[in-house]
Structure 1
């Protein structure tokens, strides 16, 4: 891509997992830090948090956030 080229993004998905030993609030803050601060409310609204079980029965939390349209483009520029 050449410098100054337009970015066209229609959907941006951010996902991660957190193990039981991790502080879920800190993981969510880390996800927020990948996006512009003015999008944090939209990011939180889009978050899906699932409780899963690891291979050995350990608890795992999956977090998925999806941004669409202008929010996705704004985040792509920010990154």
Structure 2
């Protein structure tokens, strides 16, 4: 059974409380997702560590229930 966008978002926010998550269904099937995760806590971290933090928040669901996630991470734009 595929994971719903709100379930993925909740897991990410639980692991990265300051995250803002934007989910996009890539195939229209609820099984292939793109996530853009923006968090101040990413500031100063290399992109690889940012992405590892997201994967850690998703835990063992990556590669299992959640098998297709296109991930983009970013820090908020300072004004």
* TM bucket, shorter chain: 0.3 to 0.5
Greater length-normalized contact order (CA 8 Å, ≥ 6 residues apart): 1
Higher strand content, 1 or 2: 1
Report the TM-score, using the length of structure 2 for normalisation. 0.37
